[in-house]
Amino acid sequence: MVKRTISSAKNERVSELELICGGKEAEIEEAIDKLNAIREKNIVQNGLIGDFLPTLERISMNVLKRAKEEGSSLVDEEVEIDVKLIERTAILALCKIMCVSGQLCKKNIGLVFELLHSPID
């Protein structure tokens, strides 16, 4: 009986430790979720990224629109090269922002895939 009491006491301690560790893991996950929400709100929506996002989306949509229209090219070759560089940079910036924000990724993933399937130079 004494051995059973000792082993049951050890089991109780182990289960108590598991509960404590499990509680700490839940607290850590909750803190991570709070930090992600703060990041999403302050950096992405209200910060510098949020200021540039509409411009990047608009440029990307214009690239897609122009790619769907055939025969729409600019006259001046130097201007066309500059426009293409700006467009590619905007698309790349949009993709990088999508890596930071899950909400923006869900919102713009369709646009990025359309751009990938379109005949862009």
| AA identity, residue 64 | L
What's the confidence (pLDDT) of residue 36?
83
What's the confidence (pLDDT) of residue 2?
47
In this structure, the number of other CB atoms found within 10 A of the CB of residue 94 comes to 21
CA–CA dist 94, 116 (Å, integer) = 13
What's the confidence (pLDDT) of residue 73?
53
Tokens of 114: 């359309």
Helix (H, G, I), strand (E, B) or coil at 106: helix
Q: Are residues 62 and 110 in the same domain?
A: yes
Report residues of the chain scoring pLDDT below 50: 2
Element (DSSP H or E) covering residue 32: helix 2-38
Q: Are residues 56 and 10 in the same domain?
A: no
What's the confidence (pLDDT) of residue 71?
53
What's the confidence (pLDDT) of residue 110?
92
What's the confidence (pLDDT) of residue 76?
61
Question: What are the Cα distances from residue 108, in Å, to 26, 69, 94?
Answer: 31, 21, 8
Instruction: Write down the H helix ranges in 39-76.
Output: 48-68
Total number of domains constituting the chain: 2
What's the confidence (pLDDT) of residue 109?
92
Q: Are residues 114 and 66 in the same domain?
A: yes
Q: Are residues 81 and 111 in the same domain?
A: yes
Q: Are residues 36 and 60 in the same domain?
A: no
Contact 56, 94 (CB under 8 A): yes
Parent domain of 82: 48-121
